[in-house]
Chain A
Amino acid sequence: MLVEYSSLITLIALTAILAFSFYAVLIAGQLSLAQLGLASLAAFTSSLVVPDEPLFGFIPPLAVGIVFGMCVGILAAFILGLPVIRLRGVFLAIATLAFGEMVRIFLINQTWTNGAQGLGFPKLVGIEVAWIALIVVAYWFWRLSGSRMGRAFAAIREDELAATTMGINVARYRMASFVIAGAVAGLYGVLLAYFSRFADPNEFSFTAAVDGLVTAVVGGVTLFVGPLLGSVFLSVLPELQRLLGINAGWIRPTISGVLLLVVILFLPGGLSGLIPRRKSAKRLVANPALRPDLPALPAPGTELVSLQGIGKSYGGVHAVRSVDLSVQAGEVLGLIGPNGAGKTTLVNMVTGLTPPSTGTGVVLGAALTAGTKAHRLAQSGVARTFQQIKLFNRLSALENVLVGGYRITHDTLLRRLLFLPSARRFEREAVAMASAQLIRVGLGDKAANAAGDLSYGDQRRLEIARALASHPSLLVLDEPAAGMNHVEAGRLSELIRSLAADGIAVLVIEHNVRMMLATCDRIMVLNFGEVIASGKPADIARDPKVLEAYLGSAGNDADVEAASVLAAENLAEVAVELAREHEQGPDAVIGDDAEPNGAAEPEDKR
C-alpha cells in the first residue's frame, strides 16, 4: 500500500509545501504568483553547489541544497519585493506573475540549466524527507498563527489602514511575508528537483503557479492546516476517480473543475473552514495580577499635541485652514461642527494619516511633516477610532484587542517556536491586558464573537477597547457615540471621563452635542475648516455663531427659528447643570439611566 502510493504520498507533501508558500503571502492579504519562479531559481542554482559527497564529511548534500535553496528564495523574494511590494491586489499578482515568467525564460536560455531539455538531479528526496520538511513548515506556520507577528499579518489582511494606526509597520510586515514565502518556495523547488530527478524550467510555469494558488485557496487560509487539506483533496481526487474506473482523459479535469468551483462558491473559508474551531481560541483572562506594569503616562497637564496654523487643502479645496490646537494629558477636548467642517481631516493630521499642507505641529514629541508615518506616531502613544468603523471583521473581538496591544506586547514567534515558557507568559500577559480593556468597555461576554458580527454600538465600543489596548497617551475618538442610544452614550461619556482621570488625553469628535457638553473639558467648534468658537462647554452652548452653524437659523422659517431659540435656552440650562455636576467629580456624571455594568471590573490602578 505504502509502496504503491509512495510517490503520491510524497507529492502530497511537496504540493502542500508549495501551497504553504502561497499561504505565507495570502495570510497577509497579498497575492503573489512569483512562487514558482523562486522555486525554479532555487532548484537550478542548488544544482551548482550541491556536492556529491557529504560536506566536511558529515553534512548531507541534500541539507546543503535545502539551505542554499531557501537562501536563494529569500534573497530573490527580497529583491523582487523592493519594487513590487507597494503594488496591491491584481497588480501585485500580475507583476509577480511577470517575474515568474521572466525567470522561466531566463533559465531556458542558460546553458548551465541545460535549457528546455531539462537537467538531471540525483534522487535524494523520498517520502520521509518530504514529510519531515512539510511538518517543519506546518509547525512554523502553526506557531506563527498565535504570535504577535501572526496577528499583525491577519490585521494587515483585514484592514491595512487600521493596522497602521495600531503601530504596525505595514511595509515591513508585507515584505516579511514575501520573504517567508520565498524561503518556502525555495525549499519546494529543491525538494521537487531532488525528488523527481529531473527539472525543466517549463515545469515552473504560470499553470503550475495557478495550481499552487488553487491548492492554497481550496484548503483555506484561515487555519494552518489549510494547505495540507488542499493538497490532499486535489491529489487524491484524480486517484479516487482512477480507482472508481473513471479513465477518460477529460472526465477527471471536469470533475476537479466542478469541485473547485463548488468549493470557491460555497465554502468561502476553503476546506479548513469546515473544521469546527474552538469557540474561542483564547479565553478572557480576568486576573489583574497577570497584567504587567506599564510605563507611566505623561503627568496631567503636559502638552501632548500642539498645532500652529495647521491647514490641509485638496486641489484648491480647503478642508482645514489655519487651526491652532493644543491638547494636554488628562483632558477631554471635544471637536464639534457640521458634517464636512473638517473635523476628521484635522484628526487625520494629528494621527499622521494625512500630512498637513500648511502650518506646523508636534504630536508626542514628533513633528508633523510629509514624512510622518502613522505607525511611528502610534508607537509613540497615539491611538484612534474611525468614523467609518474599521475593525478586523473576521477576527474575534479579543483578537482585535490583542492586535491593538501590538505596541506594548513582545513578539513571541521565536519563543513560541522553541516552546519557551516565557512565550506562554507573554501571551497570557497580552491576553490579560486585552481582556481588561474588553471588560472595561462592557464587551467581556462577547470576546469570542467575530467583530463583524457585533451590533453597531458594540463595534464602536470594540474599536475603543482596541485603541485603549495600546496604552495610549493620546486617544482620538471619531464619532464614538454614533449608533448608540442615549443610555449607551451616557455610559460612553462615563468611560471617557474615567480615561481622562487616568491621565489619558482624549480628543473626541461627536455629533451628540448633549453628550459632548457633559463630557468635555473644552470644546472647539469647526465650520468650513475654521475654528469658529473654542472654550468651556457652557460658553459654547450659548455662542450665537455655534447655534447658527448648527441650526441654520439664517432662513426665514419661523418654526425653525423658534426651535433654535428654544434649543439654545434648553442647552444653556443643561450646560450649567452639567458644569455643576462636573465639579463634583466624574462619578456624578449623568448617572441616572446608566446602570453599573455587571461585567465591569474596578478599573486598573497604575
Chain B
Amino acid sequence: MSDPILSVEGLQVNYGRVEAVRNVSFEVATGALVTLVGANGAGKTSILNAVSGLIRPRHGVIKFKGQDITKWPAHRLVKAGLVQVPEGREILGTLTVAENLSLGGWHRGSTLNANVARVYDRFPVLFERRRLHAGALSGGEQQMLSIARALIAEPEILLLDEPSMGLAPKIVDEVFSVIEEIRSTGTTVVLVEQNARRALAAADFGYVLETGEITHSGPAHELLADEKVIEAYLGLD
C-alpha cells in the first residue's frame, strides 16, 4: 500500500487498568474502503475514537496525510477532513433535520449551503423531512441523516462505526450502497462492523480484531475465503 492517508502504529487504549486496545497497527490507502471487523468489545470503537481524537491513546502514533495527529483534539481533526459517523448514530433528536445537517458544517461556513443542497439531492427523504425533529425519523432515516451530516463536513476520510446496527436487512443494503457510493466519489472510508461478512464483501482490505488485537488482515476477498477466519469469526453473525 503506497501513500496511506491514515496510518496507525502501536496503538494502545486503556480504560482505567483495562486494556481495550493492544498494540494495533494498520494503514488505510487513499481512496480505499478498509474495514475493521470483530465482536462486541473487541476494541473497534475504541480504535475509531482514538483516531478521531475523542479519547487519548496510552501509546501509539496516528498519522493523517503524513502528519502526526495523535494529540489533536476532535474539532481540529474534523476541520482537517477526518470525520466520524458514530456508533448509535448520535443524531440530535430535539433539533430538526435541517439543524442537524447544518451542525455537520460547523467548520464549513462558506460551502455549507451548497453542501446541504447536494446532500438533499442525494437523500430526498431528508429534504422532505427537513423541518421535522430528527428524533421522529425511522432508524434507517436517522442513519442516513448521520451519514449525510458527516458528508457536509467535506471529509477526506470518513470513519463509520457500525452503520448497520439495529437496521432491517433491506435498510442495511441501502446503507451499504450509500457507503460504496461515497467511496466511488474518491472519499476514503474506514468501516467498523460487527456484520463481518457484509463488511468484508464491500471492502478492499480488512482487519479482524479480537479482544483488542488484530488477529488477521489481508485483502477483503481473501479474508472472506479464509477457512480459519470463517471458522473463528464469521460463523453466522
Contact = CB atoms under 8 A, between A and B. Distances in A.
Interface of A: 338-340, 452-457, 479, 482-486, 511-514, 528, 548-555, 557, 559-560, 563, 567, 570-571
12 contacts: A339-B165, A339-B166, A340-B166, A486-B232, A486-B233, A513-B237, A551-B197, A552-B172, A554-B173, A555-B170, A557-B173, A557-B201
Interface of B is mostly: mixed
B41 A483 contact: yes
Given A560-B198, A563-B201, A567-B236, A482 B39 contact: yes
B169 A567 contact: no
Contact of A479 (B19, B40, B211, B235): B40
A513 B194 CA distance: 13
A482 B39 CA distance: 7
Given A452-B16, A560-B201, A567-B197, A483 B168 contact: no
B18 A453 contact: yes
Given A452-B16, A513-B235, 20 more contacts: A339-B165, A339-B166, A453-B16, A453-B17, A482-B40, A484-B39, A485-B210, A511-B40, A512-B39, A512-B235, A513-B236, A514-B236, A528-B168, A551-B169, A552-B173, A554-B173, A555-B169, A559-B224, A560-B197, A563-B197
B170 A552 contact: yes
Contact of B18 (A339, A454, A514, A559): A454
Contacts of A571: 235-236
Nearest to A339: B166
B204 to A, nearest CB: 14
A549 B224 CA distance: 21
Nearest to A552: B169
B201 A559 contact: yes
A514 B166 CA distance: 20
B60 interface: no
A227 B20 CA distance: 36
B148 interface: no
Contacts of A456: 18, 20, 41, 211
A108 to B, nearest CB: 45
B42 interface: yes
B139 interface: yes
A164 to B, nearest CB: 25
Contacts of A455: 18-19, 211
Contacts of B169: 338, 548-549, 551-555
The listed residue with most A CB atoms (<10 A of its CB), out of B166, B168, B170, B234, is B168
A571 B236 CA distance: 8
Query: Which bracket fits the contact residues of B?
Result: 20 to 34
A388 B232 CA distance: 24
A582 B41 CA distance: 29
A452 B16 CA distance: 8
A108 B42 CA distance: 62
Given A340-B166, A452-B16, A511 B237 contact: yes
Interface in B189-237: 194, 197-198, 201, 210-211, 224, 230, 232-237
Contacts of A479: 40
Contacts of B166: 338-340
Nearest to B15: A452
A483 B43 CA distance: 9
Contacts of B224: 559, 563
Contacts of A550: 236-237
Interface in B147-170: 165-170
Contacts of A339: 165-166
Contacts of A457: 41, 211
Nearest to B41: A483
A339 B165 CA distance: 7
Q: Which residue, B19, B39, B234, has most C-beta atoms of chain A within 10 A?
A: B39
Nearest to B211: A485
Nearest to A479: B40
Contacts of A511: 39-40, 194, 237
B40 A483 contact: yes
Contacts of B41: 456-457, 482-483
Interface string B169-187: 1101100100000000000
A4 B39 CA distance: 68
A123 to B, nearest CB: 52
Contacts of A570: 230
B94 to A, nearest CB: 15
A462 to B, nearest CB: 13
A137 B198 CA distance: 63
A335 to B, nearest CB: 15
B176 to A, nearest CB: 8
Contacts of A452: 16, 18
Contacts of B39: 482-484, 511-512
Given A339-B165, A483-B39, A555 B237 contact: no
Interface in B27-47: 39-42
B91 to A, nearest CB: 16
A550 B16 CA distance: 36
List of 3 A-B pairs having minimum Cβ-Cβ separation, nearest first: A483-B41, A552-B169, A340-B166
Nearest to A459: B18
A554 B235 contact: no
Contacts of A552: 168-170, 172-173, 198
A31 B164 CA distance: 42
A452 B15 CA distance: 9
A338 B20 CA distance: 25
Nearest to A550: B236
Query: Which of B20, B40, B234 has the most CB atoms of chain A within a 10 A radius of its CB?
Result: B40
B236 to A, nearest CB: 4
Contacts of A485: 210-211
A291 to B, nearest CB: 31
A567 B231 CA distance: 11
